[in-house]
Amino acid sequence: QAKDAGRGVARYFSSELQSEQEDRVRLETDLRQAITAQQFHLVFQPLVSAKSQKLIGFEALIRWNHPQRGFIPPNVFIPVAEENGLMPQLGNWIIDEACRALATWPEAVTVAVNISPKQILVPALPNVVSEALARHKIPGNRLELEVTEGVFLGDSGKTVDVLGRLRALGVGIALDDFGTGYSSIGYLNKAIFHKLKIDGSFVRDCGSRPENVAIIKSIVQLAKSFRMSVTAEGVETAEDFERMRELGCDTIQGYLFGKPLSYERANQMVVGLGAKRMAG
Ligand code: C2E
Ligand code: MG
Ligand code: MG
Ligand code: MG
């Protein structure tokens, strides 16, 4: 009987795996056409100063509107793009598109762009970034790139070199989702990162989990000792915000201050910021 049950489980898994695989193949084919078919767009999530609660910039996040399947989350298609060698092309498009938006906004506004681990080792990445900056006439310090701890799982020496070349363009480098992945504390003293982003999972459970408060405290301390700034992600409530501000986070990102917005809506926020400035 146990044997039968075992076989049933195996069959279940194999058909599930098969359809999963078919799914990925279809996704891959569709991804190849999606750029030229203009199915991608960027959305922009506000980043605000913890002190003033004013807008300081945005994180650009990619969206894919699939003609048949509708919205497919980046966590699903980015890994497929990476595995199929599509990331250089898609990644370059993202950088250019983010710079295009940035060029229309005032000097004080920054935009952060996510760079996936495989993208970092595309040999021409620093050139791609400097060309995009030049094309849109943007100084490097208005652009920020976000990488995760996963970048150090590959050729870490090469990664450190690429990040250094990007920093030399004036571009900021943030370590995203800090604390959730492969620990790279050893890389923090290489003056590569200008910012740590605390993963939302630590932020959201802070009220009920005192150990998360301890983790955030030590991340903030670590960042300060390397003169890096700290962003808290996933801030959803006024309580989260107050706690993160008190713990010493410099920048806040999360649904409390805004979900990822279309370019048009982000632009309205920027225009509002300009008006407030002129009045003040
Ligand atoms: P990430 O870079 O850590 O981005 C933050 C994610 O958290 C975004 O999800 C954002 O919408 C979500 N988020 C922000 N505030 C809150 C909040 O208060 N509550 C909750 N529950 N979620 C919040 P999204 O857009 O689905 O992106 C997921 C991940 O996909 C990103 O994580 C990033 O790793 C990747 N990704 C997104 N866009 C790009 C891109 O253009 N290029 C690359 N390479 N990766 C991207
Ligand atoms: Mg990010
Ligand atoms: Mg993150
Ligand atoms: Mg993430």
- In the chain, the percentage of residues whose pLDDT exceeds 70 is 90
For residues 34-45, one letter each, b for 16 or more C-beta atoms within 10 angstroms of the residue's C-beta and e for the rest, the string is: beeeebbebbbb
Comparing CA positions, the residue from 69, 60, 61, 63 lying closest to residue 30 is: 69
d(CA 20, CA 6): 21
Ligand 3 center to 280 CA (angstroms):
33
Mean pLDDT by 10 residues, the chain (280 residues): 50 67 86 91 98 97 94 94 92 97 97 94 92 98 95 88 95 93 72 92 88 94 94 96 97 97 96 59
What is the per-residue pLDDT for 221? 95
170 phi/psi in degrees, rounded to 5: 95, 0
Comparing CA positions, the residue from 169, 110, 103 lying closest to residue 136 is: 103
What is the per-residue pLDDT for 12? 57
d(CA 120, CA 129): 11
| Best residue for ligand 1 mutational test, from 114, 255, 259 (most atoms within 8 Å of Cβ) | 114
Ligand 3 center to 60 CA (angstroms):
12
Averaged pLDDT score across all residues of the chain = 89
Contact 57, 110 (CB under 8 A): yes
Ligand 1 nearest atom to the CA of residue 253, by list position: 15
Which residues line ion ligand 3, judged by CB < 5 Å? 176-177, 233
Ligand 1 nearest atom to the CA of residue 119, by list position: 44
Take atom 9 of ligand 1 and give the residue whose Cα is closest. Answer: 61
Can you give the pTM of this predicted structure? 0.91
Take atom 46 of ligand 1 and give the residue whose Cα is closest. Answer: 114
Torsion of CA 224, 59, 255, 78, to 10 degrees: -110
Give the ligand with the smallest distance to the CA of 177: 3
What is the per-residue pLDDT for 280? 36
Q: What is the pLDDT of residues 78-100, one digit of tens each?
A: 999 999 999 999 999 999 999 99
Give the ligand with the smallest distance to the CA of 120: 1
What is the per-residue pLDDT for 3? 46
Q: What is the pLDDT of residues 200-246, one digit of tens each?
A: 999 988 888 899 999 999 999 999 999 999 999 999 999 999 999 99
d(CA 12, CA 143): 48
Question: What does the chain come to in residues?
Answer: 280
Take atom 17 of ligand 1 and give the residue whose Cα is closest. Answer: 234
